[in-house]
Chains A and B, each alone.
Chain A
């Protein structure tokens, strides 16, 4: 697998606070990579390191195999969580300025801005000032400015904050479109639903260390409790009888007199096939699905477990 970013043993300390501690992250090319963690975990510090806003105390960051340097700045697009624009400056002028700072020529920037403004149907905003726009409108401009120079790597920190559901969908669509074109996206968010929807890999940072990392599907499978959700039409007593001792009934949700949803968990090495074989004659099965852990649950579990470990460590000391 080819990696656009390879960060090895990254440590960053601010006076008495260690923001990142021996962090290793590899971001595959073309992936949407979720960077997760509680507030203050070290995500923004890591993003700032990639953007070369600050430098690591230790460790190396490679960009396409090369040590990170000034030439890479124009290849990266960054939409920070706390983002703003010059309030008194006209929008068109401002977008041109920011695009040129990213290394675009004036002519190129004008053409591309025209394309994006037209696409988002905001051509009439060109001469408006930012102070005349709503927060959501300003967010659109910021998104355009971030992607305008067609970066290879796009870093989006809470990109949906401040957007209404319609605009959230619009931005989500654009992100997926960019992925299709081959852009690698680092996606930092607290919105776990969107992580499940669009991320293929994640790193979960807590207290400056990585506590979970890998492919989203595998992580969800790993964290799932081997539970199955079954919806069937039939008699609940017959179903319970079929469970025998090979399954544990976790939850029962009666939807009507004859229709039920249940969550069951095999005991020991019992297979779900055994259960299905036992109930197939007495119930009409509507669906069976393996119940995967949500990213939200995984996040909470991983962080809590880490805190318990840290508490244990400090108590031992």
Chain B
């Protein structure tokens, strides 16, 4: 193996074997997946189907509720009209998931207030909300029915179950797009910063524990620096890959665990859209908002994945090399007793600014600030990562190409700068770390 290969191998192996690497690689995808699926999991784990026994004073609404509003969460049972509330209460007292809904006689035609709900235990807000939604939906339909003289099935068809905006471009839900934007920006910020600082720390370790002179008697300083940067960069790419693959796997596992079948739901949606006559409500399973969001998120993630996998490695490599070279220069110029904090700050400021801009992209992706900072090499890795979900490939591809080209052009200069400072400074001890000295070492290396 070549000497450069040996250096890369050591830098890579020692870091990949660290507990912190393994923990971060496992925990990040779990957290990412849980974040997406958490609402569904919480709902699923806390959900129990409730039976609502209806004592109907309206004579009509109870029957309508039973006929049209049964779902996987709630089962409405309209009690025979001769049964009084006390008689029904005798029946539900033994069962904890059973409640009694006493409908006011004015509900539906005159009033939108359904009546009273009786329960031995405290019902969860989700159950109450569901009953309220069902009652209110029925109330509105009755009101429409009174004005239009249509029958209920016709009202249902006219009103529809839901309204869906067709998204243009990438087809990704704007909300998911915002999350992807924020996540991409933050992800890039963390990778560039974490691994950039690791380059600096690695160099400082070698310089300060004085192994540097032994190694430099075997390999040229610039090769050593490159070995370190490449090795640590590969650790970053490995972690990046693990996190992506593991996230996909975990998402799949969790999706199965919470029992969501995406294809069935998509088919049902099509069925609904194509239906012309009476709509059979029983065919369409009622999906909770949380489940629908999770399903959409997963579908949108699948759509976004190719762009992400194609562009992010370039942005990471460029961003990492750019910042790693600055960190390498500071690391090589440091001494055991020097305070490097004041030199790290100016390097991290552009990354922090990038993150701040990235958070605004969610709400305003087309702003001039977003555009220019996604082109400017010091901010482009993070800002472009955040803009990526909003980029329209067919018309805006050139922006990605320009940003990456400018980034790598700057990397060409920054790595040369770092190599020159490194070559001189790495063997200097007891010299003060100042900007003037860094410039002097850069010039000296000529």
Residues of chain A whose beta carbon lies under 8 Å from any beta carbon of chain B: 14-15, 48, 51-54, 73, 76, 78-80, 82-89, 97-98, 100-103, 142, 145
A-B contact pairs, 11 of them (CB 8 A): A14-B444, A52-B220, A79-B214, A80-B213, A82-B213, A86-B205, A98-B214, A98-B215, A100-B1, A101-B7, A102-B218
B2-48 residues with Cβ-Cβ distance < 8 A to A are 3, 6-7, 10, 14
- B149 contacts chain A at the CB level, 8 A cutoff: no
Contact A101 to B218, CB < 8 A, known contacts A53-B427, A86-B205, A89-B14: yes
Question: Are B213 and A83 in contact (CB-based, < 8 A)?
Answer: yes
> DSSP class of A's interface residues: helix, strand, loop or mixed?
loop
- B356 contacts chain A at the CB level, 8 A cutoff: no
Question: Are A76 and B210 in contact (CB-based, < 8 A)?
Answer: no
Nearest B residue to A86, CB-CB: B211
Residue among A78, A84, A103, A145 with max Cβ neighbours from chain B (10 Å): A84
* Count of B interface residues, CB-CB < 8 Å: 24
Contact of B210 among A51, A80, A101 (CB under 8 A): A80
Nearest A residue to B428, CB-CB: A14
Question: Are B216 and A101 in contact (CB-based, < 8 A)?
Answer: no
- B219 contacts chain A at the CB level, 8 A cutoff: yes
Contact A98 to B218, CB < 8 A, known contacts A48-B427, A53-B427: yes
- B209 contacts chain A at the CB level, 8 A cutoff: yes
- B274 contacts chain A at the CB level, 8 A cutoff: no
Question: Are B215 and A15 in contact (CB-based, < 8 A)?
Answer: no
Chain A nearest CB from B180 CB (Å) reads 38
Chain B nearest CB from A132 CB (Å) reads 15
Question: Are B216 and A15 in contact (CB-based, < 8 A)?
Answer: no
Chain B nearest CB from A161 CB (Å) reads 12
B191-214 residues with Cβ-Cβ distance < 8 A to A are 205-206, 209-211, 213-214
Question: Are A85 and B218 in contact (CB-based, < 8 A)?
Answer: no
Q: Assuming A52-B217, A87-B209, A100-B6, what are 12 further A-B pairs, CB within 8 angstroms? A: A14-B444, A15-B444, A48-B427, A52-B220, A53-B213, A80-B210, A83-B210, A86-B205, A98-B218, A101-B3, A101-B219, A103-B218
Chain A nearest CB from B202 CB (Å) reads 10
Contact A83 to B211, CB < 8 A, known contacts A15-B444, A89-B14, A101-B219: yes
Nearest A residue to B9, CB-CB: A97
Question: Are A85 and B217 in contact (CB-based, < 8 A)?
Answer: no
B210-237 residues with Cβ-Cβ distance < 8 A to A are 210-211, 213-221
Give the residues in chain B near A98, CB-CB below 8 Å.
Answer: 214-215, 218
Residue among A51, A53, A78, A89 with max Cβ neighbours from chain B (10 Å): A53
Give the residues in chain A near B217, CB-CB below 8 Å.
Answer: 51-53, 73, 76, 78, 80
Question: Are A101 and B209 in contact (CB-based, < 8 A)?
Answer: no
Q: How far is the CA of A41 from the CA of B209 in the complex (A)?
A: 24
Chain A nearest CB from B397 CB (Å) reads 44
Give the residues in chain A near B432, CB-CB below 8 Å.
Answer: none
